[in-house]
Amino acid sequence: MNETTDVPQFPREISPGVFWLNYCMGTSPKTPELHLHLSIFLVIGSEKTFLIDTSLPTMWRGIEPQLREALAGRKLDYIFVTHPELPHSAGLPNLMEQFPEATLIGDMRDYHLFFPEYMGRSQNVVPGEKLSLGDRSITFIDAAIKDLPGTLWAYEDVTQTMFVCDGFSLTHDGDENIDPVDVGRELRDLEDDEPVHFEGECAMLTSELPSVNIKSASLIIERALYWSRFVKPDLLFGDVRKLFEDYPPKLIAPSHGNVIDNIPEIEKMVIEAHELAYARATEVAG
Amino acid sequence: MLTPDDTKPSTSSDTIREGNSSAEHVVDGRIYRLGGFVPLDGRLSWSAKRPGRIQPISGYVVQNDDRAYLLDTGVAAHRATVMQQFSGLLKKDQPVTAFLTRADYQCLGNLEALNDQHPLEELAFDIRSPFSAFDDVKRNLQNVRETLLTPGFGGYKPLAASDDLVVFPAMIRILGTNWVYSKSQRTLFTSDWFCHTDLAADAQSSILTDSAMDETTYESAIEHVQCKYYWLSQANTDPLRVWLKKVFEDLDVQIIAPTVGCILSDQKLVEKHYELAMEMLLKLGRKNG
């Protein structure tokens, strides 16, 4: 994270009452490494506050001050876990302890086995249900792009922000000419002073990024969504478009990527990245 | 619409069934199952609702010379049982190597608790994707040696110093996943595949040793598979079938031991469920790739 103030910082208010919190993780055990967002989001309603995902315990030191700053003295009312995969849910014990009045909310199937101690503080929701935060509401949506079954997306109706967890994954690696096969897969040795990404990119909206590296995005998609190598993207994005007709987004907020404000342009790139992942697997399979 | 005041918490159910206080013997003296049972009451995302039926959720202990290998640890809801079963299997100060087939709550739910009870000597791992969050998995395991298995795909990697257990990446999976094979016991630990079986609610054992015990049909199996592997119906499954066929050609499998569902401990049962799996992959996959 950069130290200067002339570039976007976390927590970033991406739309009135919607805050983006993030502490990037690396993609490999070697350094330097590609940055990968592990973002969570806070929605501040007039009556209730609503957190989307939990990040990881090892990132809590970086996330907690952002969360406290964004809450600005409000209490945290809801902790929505999109799905019980570690990067999205492993911070739950920290949050439940730090915010003892908060309610865990989401598709609560499986949680009675994973987190039995929190069942008394939980609320199950199903796709299509709405939750009022006062002046705005959240609609829970069956995720069109996901890894684990039971994953929910969320749509905030005032700012029209769609929270898509593992969907629309991107990296921010500063240079569209970097070959991600070297960076991500072979863990290339970079010179110490070679930038992996440019200053401030972590907190930029996609329209502010100097470029988006589609090859890097395809590698992240392969890792986050293993099945993407077997599924043709046109099948997938047909469902996404139908969903966007019902819930038109002005912002798309993914867990693993910059927040998307130029949606048609980035959607095209994400589809291309999925196509690359599919084509690479087809090529390997012969 | 739910309102801010409509926050009645979900009630915790009392229907989770603990397993026996002693671990089940999969292979006497060598392989043991840890874990309990869960009812198929609609509260699982990975299996179908089937009233009156239950599924085992399992971790395993493989005894190999003086060392025990702990393969997955079950879910937190079964913690008391798993801890009791685990302690009953180990000699005082016996070295234990732990290995998770996936970084998933089905597999790691009791890792820290078991380490607190009987300190692990070694945590072997093979998955380095950031999505596996290995730093978080191990963060509370003090003084446990970490052993990275040989990186990269292809080939079988010895599970740390074991001369019996080998590890290889699973091609049928959701998250980063490895399968484990015991050469001496011809047992294949298949993590979250071959999880399509279930049992009557009053069943006492998770191990099927005879075809007559197995009530699985194609219809019941595919109902379970489609819950977790929802994407297969949109996928080109040809590479998956080729891979599974090769696994069963390369390895002599007499026992299949998954994380969820029954242990299949009979050659005819193994053949039946292999054929079932191949048929499901064929029928679920898109015909035009």
Residues of A with Cβ-Cβ distance to B176 under 8 angstroms: 226
Q: Which of A56, A110, A137 sits opposite B44 (nearest CB)?
A: A110
| Residue A99 pLDDT | 98
The torsion angles phi and psi of A120, rounded to 5 degrees, stand at -70, -10
Question: What ipTM goes with this model?
Answer: 0.93
In angstroms, rounded to a whole number, what is the distance separating the alpha carbons of residues A234 and B75?
Answer: 37
Cβ atoms within 10 A of the Cβ of A192, count?
7
* Own/partner long-range contacts of A59-64 (Cβ < 8 Å, ≥24 apart): A59/A23, A59/A25, A59/A91, A60/A91, A60/A94, A62/A1, A62/A23, A63/A21, A63/A22, A63/A23, A63/A91, A64/A94, A64/A98
Mean pLDDT, rounded, for B255-274:
98
User: Above 70 in pLDDT, residue A16?
Assistant: yes
Q: Which of B10, B16, B77 sits opposite A122 (nearest CB)?
A: B10
Q: Which of B3, B77, B242 sits opposite A132 (nearest CB)?
A: B3
Q: Strand A152-156 to strand B178-182: parallel, antiparallel, or no bridges (unpaired)?
A: unpaired
Mean pLDDT, rounded, for A53-66:
95
Burial (0-12, 13-18, 19+ Cβ within 10 Å), A126: exposed
Reported confidence tier of residue B103, pLDDT bands at 50, 70, 90: very high
In angstroms, rounded to a whole number, what is the distance separating the alpha carbons of residues B153 and B170?
Answer: 10
Interface of B with A in 219-248 (CB under 8 A): 227-228, 230-231, 234-240, 242
| Residue A172 pLDDT | 77
With beta carbons less than 8 A apart as the criterion, state whether A165 and A254 touch: yes
Mean pLDDT, rounded, for B155-172:
93
User: Above 70 in pLDDT, residue B289?
Assistant: no
With beta carbons less than 8 A apart as the criterion, state whether A73 and A65 touch: no
In angstroms, rounded to a whole number, what is the distance separating the alpha carbons of residues A186 and A64?
Answer: 33
In angstroms, rounded to a whole number, what is the distance separating the alpha carbons of residues B9 and B237?
Answer: 41
User: Above 70 in pLDDT, residue A104?
Assistant: yes
Enumerate the H helices of chain A as residue ranges.
60-71, 86-89, 92-98, 111-114, 180, 214-224, 233-246, 263-285
- Residue among A18, B163, A20 nearest A10 (CA): A20
| Residue A214 pLDDT | 86
Q: Which amino acid is at B26?
A: V
Find tokens 């008394």 and name the residue. Answer: A120
| Residue A224 pLDDT | 86
Of A166-180, A206-220, B274-288, least confident by mean pLDDT is: A166-180
| A212 Cβ contact list (under 8 Å, min separation 6) | A170, A176, A206, A266, A269
Reported confidence tier of residue B271, pLDDT bands at 50, 70, 90: very high
| Residue B32 pLDDT | 98
Search chain A and give the residue with CA nearest B15. A112
In angstroms, rounded to a whole number, what is the distance separating the alpha carbons of residues A223 and B105?
Answer: 19
| Residue A70 pLDDT | 98
Answer whether B43 sits within 8 Å of A223, measured CB to CB.
no
Report cis status (omega within 30 of 0) of the bond before A32: yes
The H or E element containing residue B136 is helix B134-137
Over the stretch B17-64, which tens digit does the pLDDT of each residue have? 777 789 999 999 999 999 999 999 999 999 999 999 999 999 999 999
Q: Which amino acid is at B97?
A: T
In angstroms, rounded to a whole number, what is the distance separating the alpha carbons of residues B20 and B86?
Answer: 12
Average pLDDT, chain A: 87
User: Above 50 in pLDDT, residue B13?
Assistant: no
With beta carbons less than 8 A apart as the criterion, state whether B101 and B189 touch: yes
| Residue A74 pLDDT | 98
SS3 of A156, please?
strand
The H or E element containing residue A122 is strand A122-124
Is B142 an 8 Å CB contact of chain A? no
In angstroms, rounded to a whole number, what is the distance separating the alpha carbons of residues A257 and A145?
Answer: 14
SS3 of A23, please?
coil
Q: How far is CA B165 from CA A91, B25, B35, B207, in A?
A: 33, 18, 21, 21
- Provide the b/e sequence for A96-116 (b: ≥16 CB within 10 Å): beebeebbbbbbbbbbbbbbb
**Which of B125, B131, B136 is the mutation pick for testing A, counting most A CBs within 10 A?**
B131
| Residue A153 pLDDT | 98
DSSP notation for A174-196: S-TTS-HIIIIIS-----TT--S
| B189 Cβ contact list (under 8 Å, min separation 6) | B60, B71, B101, B179, B180, B181, B182, B257, B258
User: Above 80 in pLDDT, residue B15?
Assistant: no
| Residue A135 pLDDT | 98
Q: What is the DSSP letter of B216?
A: -
Query: Higher-confidence residue: B113 or B287?
Result: B113
Answer whether B174 sits within 8 Å of A236, measured CB to CB.
no
Answer whether B130 sits within 8 Å of A87, measured CB to CB.
yes
Over the stretch A192-251, which tens digit does the pLDDT of each residue have? 344 456 667 889 999 998 888 888 888 888 888 999 999 989 888 988 999 999 999 999
Q: Strand A39-44 to strand A49-52: parallel, antiparallel, or no bridges (unpaired)?
A: antiparallel
Is A252 an 8 Å CB contact of chain B? no
Reported confidence tier of residue A284, pLDDT bands at 50, 70, 90: low
| Residue A235 pLDDT | 83
| Residue A173 pLDDT | 67
Share of chain A above pLDDT 70, in %: 84
Residues of A with Cβ-Cβ distance to B18 under 8 angstroms: none
Average pLDDT, chain B: 91
Reported confidence tier of residue A178, pLDDT bands at 50, 70, 90: low
| B266 Cβ contact list (under 8 Å, min separation 6) | B208, B209, B210, B211
| Residue A27 pLDDT | 58
Q: What is the DSSP letter of A121?
A: G
Reported confidence tier of residue A145, pLDDT bands at 50, 70, 90: very high
- Residue among A50, A48, A44, A42 nearest A10 (CA): A42
Residues of A with Cβ-Cβ distance to B75 under 8 angstroms: 113-114
Query: Higher-confidence residue: A252 or A278?
Result: A252
Search chain A and give the residue with CA nearest B107. A114
User: Above 50 in pLDDT, residue A32?
Assistant: no
In angstroms, rounded to a whole number, what is the distance separating the alpha carbons of residues A101 and A116?
Answer: 17
Mean pLDDT, rounded, for B208-212:
95
Mean pLDDT, rounded, for A163-187:
65
In angstroms, rounded to a whole number, what is the distance separating the alpha carbons of residues A258 and A38?
Answer: 10
Enumerate domains of chain A plus CATH numbers: 12-285 (3.60.15.10)
Q: Which of A132, A149, A223 sits opposite B45 (nearest CB)?
A: A149
Enumerate domains of chain B plus CATH numbers: 24-284 (3.60.15.10)
In angstroms, rounded to a whole number, what is the distance separating the alpha carbons of residues A128 and A148?
Answer: 19
Angle value at C-alpha B280, between B275 and B281, nearest 5 degrees: 100
Is A210 an 8 Å CB contact of chain B? no
With beta carbons less than 8 A apart as the criterion, state whether A155 and A163 touch: yes
Query: Higher-confidence residue: A275 or A34?
Result: A275
Mean pLDDT, rounded, for B88-93:
95
| Residue A279 pLDDT | 87
